Amino acid sequence: MSEQPILRENTTSGASDAPAGGTPSAAESSVSAAFAAKAPAAPTAPAVPVAPVMPAEPTAPKMPAASAVPAASAAPAAPRSERPARRVGTLTMGVALILVGAAICTFQFMHDWNMLLLFCKLSPLLLVALGCEVLVSSAMAKGARLKYDFLSMFVCLILLIGTLAASCLPIVLEYEGPGRSSAEMRVEQSIYNALYDRLKENGNISRIYTNVNLAYSGGYDAVQSAADLKAGDYVYMTVEVRGEYADKAAFVKACRPALEALRAQGLPYLTVNFRTVDAQDGRAPHYTMDLSGRYQMEMSDAELVQYVTEQLYIEEAGYYMTPGEAAEWADGRLEEEQYRQEELDVLREQLAEAEERAENAEFIAAEAQLANEDAEQRVQDMQEQLDSLYQQLEDALADA
């Protein structure tokens, strides 16, 4: 009875001697068990069952601080869920490509410019369709992320620009193509034929030139003669009148038959130039008259005189001039002659000065010549005197 508590104390003391922070080691547990086996058992009282000593669990190693754990050992982050993307613009580009291809194929078989022109005029609806697609996609997104297909939008823009350019092509071809030129030639020929029928008996008319400029009307095939001309169409004509005329009034009188024939044509806007040609002596006055519009075409002969320009042939110039031009040319010629006269006077003064300087130089040269001759004479005299002295010296030496 007295030894059991000692055992417990030893066990307890053994446990107390264990290092702080854990269960006794395996060696200490075996020593305690051997000591208990050598102790005598109690004679009288039955032994009190003692709970068996469980072996100590190994101590878990101390983990380093959280800051010392490498980042690679951390658990991977959960993947972030992305919203689905909805492309905007692809549908419009597909529909545009289908329509353009269908229009081109239809034109290849039908050759209908009106159908192609109608499609080109409706091409801005591509922008409307693209805007509708953007609005519908925004309304039906429901949390989806919109992604604009800029390539498709760029293709739609190129198609729009191309179709707009193609819509202008028929107009350009019609205005600058052979249809307009053919219509202008037909009108010019009709005007010329009408004037020829009325003026063929007039011996004063030498030649008529006609130039028609048609405005854009949308259909040149319908223009066949001068009666089909409309507002905006212009007719330019040149009428050459042969002969010599004493004054402007006589020239206007000679132009009156052609002027009446032009008025009978009823042309919408006419500009006509009358001029004289084929002067017999080549020196007769030359007359021109420019008229435009209905107001001037309906003037009387006295009123038309103010629109006549007279040109005179200037012999010294060698060509025709108006009186004003001839006066300016004469003034310029007079100024030129005055300038040349001034230059001639200056040259004459310079020549006189040069002659005077030459005379002075001759006088100086003559004086120098006289001085030179006098010097030569003096040198000769001195030489004679020197020779005389030498002779006297020789005579004196001989006497001595």
Please state the domain extents for the chain: 85-176, 179-314
Judged against a pLDDT cut of 90, whether residue 364 lies above it is answered with: yes
The Cα 71–Cα 238 span in angstroms is: 100
Judged against a pLDDT cut of 80, whether residue 160 lies above it is answered with: no
Cβ atoms of 124 and 99 within 8 Å: the answer is no
Judged against a pLDDT cut of 50, whether residue 65 lies above it is answered with: no
Judged against a pLDDT cut of 80, whether residue 308 lies above it is answered with: yes
41 φ/ψ sector (left φ>0, alpha ψ -120 to 50, else beta): beta
Q: What is the DSSP string of 135-180?
A: HHHHHT-TTPEEEE-HHHHHHHHHHHHHHHHHHHHHHHHHHHSHHH
Position 46 confidence tier, pLDDT thresholds 50, 70, 90? very low
- Give the predicted TM-score (pTM) of the model: 0.46
Per-residue pLDDT, averaged over 312-341, amounts to: 85
Identify the pLDDT of residue 79: 52
Cβ atoms of 130 and 94 within 8 Å: the answer is no
Per-residue pLDDT, averaged over 296-314, amounts to: 88
Question: Could you tell me which of 93, 88, 114, 91 has the C-alpha nearest to residue 103?
Answer: 114
Which range in 35-39, 56-60, 264-268, 276-280 is most confidently predicted, on average pLDDT?
264-268
Identify the pLDDT of residue 15: 42
The pLDDT tens digits of the residues spanning 2-14 come to 444 444 444 444 4
The Cα 14–Cα 28 span in angstroms is: 7
Identify the pLDDT of residue 8: 43
Per-residue pLDDT, averaged over 25-39, amounts to: 48
Phi/psi of residue 389, each to 5°? -65, -40
The Cα 155–Cα 148 span in angstroms is: 13
Beta-carbon contacts of 150 under 8 Å, excluding residues fewer than 6 positions away, are 89
CA 60 to chain centre: 83
CATH architecture of 179-314: 2-Layer Sandwich (3.30)
Which range in 19-23, 108-112, 115-119, 396-400 is most confidently predicted, on average pLDDT?
396-400
